[in-house]
Amino acid sequence: MRHRKKTLKLGRKAEHRKALLVNQVCSLIEHQRIATTLAKAKAVRPLAEKMVTLGKNGSIHARRTALAVLRQKNAVKKLFEDIAQRSAERNGGYTRIIRLGRRKSDSAPMAFIEWVDAEPAIEEKPAKEKKAKRKEAEPKPQQKALEREEPKREEPKDKAPTVKQEKPAAPPGEEPKPKKRRWFGRRSAEER
């Protein structure tokens, strides 16, 4: 029986597990919200709540105790100055876990863990501009006109003429027709 053995082991040795949880708490302090697996979120919650309780105490001893656990000065500073001040009126329950569903790769249940008193994080996605489905071929009349107007050079008769194959040019008054393409049975507007 496992009476009074409530530690979530997370498949790691004790030192690895402690380092993981401390890093998760530091990330939570820095970013206000982190996405992780549900088991890790449940394991992080007690440690994060203890750190906020130390922050609310505010003494030098509490600050040194938090620094001994978290081992990051900037995280301790932000915890004591920002997060603990926001949670001053609250008697516990400083974090919330929001379930996200399962991860695609290994089907692990995912969750957000965030501070309850944090400003609501609204993620705005930039609106994507819709691209045209088909690009129409636009003939470039300026280039065609320049090619026609240039006089052809006459080659000297003592050299052998080089063979050049030129495409038949379109009559001068007409624009070349765009190439017809068929896409899997769809009819273009010209064929209808």
- Model confidence pLDDT, tens digit, residues 19-33: 999 999 999 999 999
Going by C-beta distance under 8 Å and a sequence separation of 6 or more, which residues neighbour residue 177? Answer: none
* pLDDT interval class at 174 (50, 70, 90): confident
pLDDT at 56 over 60: yes
List, for residues 77-99, the tens digit of each pLDDT value. Answer: 999 999 999 999 999 999 999 99
Neighbours of 50 (CB within 10 A): 15
* pLDDT interval class at 126 (50, 70, 90): confident
pLDDT recorded at residue 175 = 74
- What tokens does 141 get? 């009349």
List, for residues 139-167, the tens digit of each pLDDT value. Answer: 666 655 555 666 566 666 665 556 666 66
Whether 28 and 115 have beta carbons less than 8 Å apart is answered as yes
Half-sphere exposure of 18 (CA within 13 A, CB side): 6
Query: In the chain, where do the E strands start and end?
Result: 33-37, 95-102, 109-115
Task: Give me the domains of the chain, ranges plus CATH numbers.
Answer: 14-115 (3.90.1030.10)
